[in-house]
Amino acid sequence: MKTAAIIGGGVIGGGWAARFLLNGWNVRVFDPDPEAERKISEVLYNARRSLPGLGNVALPAEGQLSYHDTIAGAVKDAEWIQESVPERLDLKQKVYGELQAHCAPDAVIGSSTSGFKPSQLQEGREAPGQIVVTHPFNPVYLLPLVELVTTAANPAGVIERAREIISGLGMYPLHLKKEIDAHVADRFLEAVWREALWLVRDGIATTEEIDNAIRYGFGIRWAQMGLFDTYRVAGGEAGMKHFMAQFGPCLSWPWTKLMDVPEFNDELVDLIAGQSDAQSGHLPIRKMEQIRDDNLVGMMRALGNNDWGAGALQNAHDKGREGEAGLVRSVADLADLSQPVLTQCRTVPLDWTDYNGHMTESRYLDAFAQSTDRLMMIIGCDAEYIANGGSYFTAETHIRHIDEVHAGDPIQVRTRVIMGAGKKMHLWHEMYSGERLLATGEHMLLHVDLATRRSAPPAPHIEANLLKLAEAHSALPAPEGLGRAIGAPR
């Protein structure tokens, strides 16, 4: 199993530990803070309740987490080392000296620094090519962006390995080949932060009003399209040139004070702290983190439904993990035709629960519908087939709710083909959490011609695959509840 070492277990280091651990890596932590283990365990609690439900394919089994008294002990056998110590250049360079004295020569050393350039971190080191900037965003276990900043000292192999490992965690490595103080993203954040300080200081807006301007307006827009694509769309049919011609003159207008920084004195600190307390001081920090995580999961899952932005990245990550989870994409890939087909392997997301605290009834149907879609793809009724005018419509559904399941619980759906001759496809789904049967779904579907929206025979290869599965599954004992009408005794 792969091993990562985390040097510094604060908010960012703890987030990195969670991201690696929940993606199946062993994680070794060094942090002299006596409270490090408690703090990381709290971050891990939040990560475990949110990250698994972000994707539609179950994460691998967690790696092993261990804490070490020395850097030497932490970096032993580590192929990735993430440094997240405080933002002091002298401290970071001292840490790198000790890291390189004990780590493997082919280990990649990434720094979470939000401001220092990689050349500053590499200065004076015997093996500067090992060190890169890998600047993440909080919470690291959910947000996918990592600013990967390198120099000419970094060999191509180190850069490619860093990209592969970051991508393997479901994250997006934004490779900056030209270094600059504060990289790219933090320069945007710093500009907005400075303007916000002025707006508060001058009494234009409170901290809550400024946050509302972001979260109810351009923040959502930026999240799904970024800056330039947003402005391109704003230019209408004429595009970006029209937008630039229309709004370019604004750059010379005194709309901001970005080049004029307010004095960062106690009065300003007290003003902002007081307003922030009034805004959300009634909520514990951990509760605010959980609310934040719930919102982020919901937004990114929504983006995934449209295969857009961070959601598209997650979809690609899920697709790459299907084989590991036991999911297949064709009848030819099935190892044993005589057994029910695994059509879903996932974790119950946070937004699938209701006021009773368990999975809401609509999501049982949603899960079974996704399993039907997977079965359709397996028999060849895939996106290309549907685009050419053939598909299946559901004619009747009967779901039995047998046991409850909660957010964060793993679930699997296994599907049997009861009948597949002619226009009909009769499916039987069983949903499990471990060995516990949660629900069954019986579905009758009809093949249709999408041009006429009427039932029609499927393509020969579709029917052949269905018949092959139906014949193999017919040797299994009839499932309990098959053909049952609602309210009828078992």
Q: Could you tell me how far CA 190 lies from the centroid of its own chain? A: 25
Residue 390 annotated as binding? no
Task: Please indicate if the annotation marks 85 as binding a ligand.
Answer: no
Instruction: Confirm whether residue 180 is marked as ligand binding.
Output: no
Question: Is 8 annotated as belonging to a binding site?
Answer: yes
Q: Which residues pair with 390 in a beta bridge?
A: 449
309 is in an annotated binding site: no
The 3-state secondary structure of the chain reads CCEEEEECCCHHHHHHHHHHHHCCCEEEEECCCCCHHHHHHHHHHHHHHHHHHCCCCCCCCCCCEEEECCHHHHHCCCCEEEECCCCCHHHHHHHHHHHHHHCCCCCEEEECCCCCCHHHHHCCCCCHHHEEEEECCCCCCCCCEEEEECCCCCCHHHHHHHHHHHHHCCCEEEEECCCCCCCCHHHHHHHHHHHHHHHHHCCCCCHHHHHHHHHHHHHHHHHHHCCHHHHHHHCHHHHHHHHHHHHHHHHHCCCCCCCCCCCCCHHHHHHHHHHHHHHHCCCCHHHHHHHHHHHHHHHHHHHHHCCCHHHHHHHHHHHHHHHHHCCCCCHHHCCCCCCCEEEEEEECCHHHECCCCCECHHHHHHHHHHHHHHHHHHHCCCHHHHHCCEEEEEEEEEEEECCCCCCCCEEEEEEEEEECCCCEEEEEEEEEECCEEEEEEEEEEEEEECCCCEECCCCHHHHHHHHHHHHHHCCCCCCCCCCCCCCCCC
Inter-residue contact 293 to 49 (CB < 8 Å): yes
Q: Is 12 annotated as a binding residue?
A: yes
Q: Which residues sit in the known binding site for NAD(+)?
A: 8-13
Q: Which residues sit in the known binding site?
A: 8-13
